[in-house]
Structure 1
Amino acid sequence: MSCFRENFWGERNAGFDVLYHNMKHGQISTKELAEFVRERAAVEDSYSKSMSKLSKMASSSSQLGTFAPMWEVFRVSSDKLALCHLELTRKLSDLIREINKYGDEQVKVHRKTKEEVTGTLEAVQSMQVSSSHMHKARESYLSRCVELERLHKEGANQKEVEKCKFLYPLLTLR
């Protein structure tokens, strides 16, 4: 069974950065969501008003003739639909208030968390820098080993081989 701790850090120790990035950009996401819900509420409100206008048109139509019962059905259904969309607009407005409240709480928690994880952030960044330096040093070491092997294969004189070993002391350990 795999554990979170074994899979979290991932390649280049980026797990903490991902979490911190998501927390940091959560405020932007909250604002975008609130804006979307606000636009949706505006659409629903507009639709409700349009349905109310249609209902008034249906009620002002001729009540005489064979279509009289049909006009009544259209008026009633338009009124009900308008009221449904008006209620949806109200519920979306409540949702916007809750999203904004959540966003405000998120800002407070973000500030508190940022203060608490500063040490972890610095440690992770230090570990990433050290890891990067280690990879560069390893690449440099391997290229120098290849150069020394090339000198041996080409039959370079002892002076050049010693010079190479002097310049790259770790190679003498091989």
Structure 2
Amino acid sequence: MLTVCCLLSSQGDKNAGFDVLYHNMKHGQIAIKELAEFVRERAAVEETYSKSMGKLAKMASNGSPLGTFAPMWDVFRVSSDKLALCHLELMRKMNDLIRDINKYSDEQAKIHRKTKEEVIGTLECVQSLQVQNGHLQKSREGYHSKCVELERLRKEGVPQKELEKVIYD
């Protein structure tokens, strides 16, 4: 709890730090899902590219083994094949990353539920303070406007009964 208090004081005044931390915690799951979706899309792109490079390698192997371009066909075949394998391996690594992200997401969901249960009292207190601060500000503005009105009436020389009426209304 001390850590939370220290974080709160460094995040802003008027208890806004707690709101920021709580908001970040709540929306962390969305961020994790967006990251997983991005990596999933990237893995799909890598797989498509790998398949395309594989097709090019096959095309290069169908090139004429005779003639002046024969050595070039071998270079194109080998390089396309290696590139296809590299992108296939990258896709596999990204799929592993997706599994790790999903595992992290599950762990975070458990931690968030536990944290939410622990800080619900703090959340209620902070919200109550914010509501009270809003009421205080509204009262302060009302008081200030009455003071301005009273001063204006005094300068105009309004009788005391009229002034009292303004004060107590």
Indicate the residue corresponding to 1:114 in structure 2. Answer: 116
1:14 shift after superposition: 1.4
Secondary structure of the structure 2 residue equivalent to 1:117: helix
Q: Which has the higher contact order (CA 8 A, sep 6+)?
A: 1
CA contact (8 A) 2:8 2:17 kept: no
1:143 aligns with 2:152: no
Indicate the residue corresponding to 2:101 in structure 1. Answer: 99
CA contact (8 A) 2:29 2:109 kept: yes
For structure 2, list consecutive stretches of 5 or more residues without a partner in the other structure.
Answer: 1-5
Once the two structures are superposed, what CA deviation does each residue of 1:29-66 show, in whole Å capped at 9, x if it has no partner? 11111111000000000000000000000001101000
1:57 aligned to which of 53, 56, 59: 59
1:6 shift after superposition: 4.7
Once the two structures are superposed, what CA deviation does each residue of 1:68-115 show, in whole Å capped at 9, x if it has no partner? 001000000001000000000000000000000000111100100000
One-letter amino acid of the counterpart of residue 53, structure 1: K
Q: 1:56-95 to 2 correspondence within 5 Å?
A: 56-95=58-97
Q: 1:10-21 to 2 correspondence within 5 Å?
A: 10=13, 12-21=14-23
Going from structure 1 to structure 2, the CA distance change for 1:134 and 1:32 (only over 3 Å counts) comes to same
Indicate the residue corresponding to 1:159 in structure 2. Answer: 161
CA distance in 2, matches of 1:48, 1:69: 23
CA contact (8 A) 2:57 2:78 kept: yes
Indicate the residue corresponding to 2:39 in structure 1. Answer: 37
Q: TM-score, length-normalised on structure 1?
A: 0.90
The alignment covers a number of residue pairs equal to 164
Q: TM-score, length-normalised on structure 2?
A: 0.93
CA contact (8 A) 2:61 2:73 kept: yes
1:8 aligns with 2:7: no
1:162 shift after superposition: 2.3
Indicate the residue corresponding to 2:131 in structure 1. Answer: 129
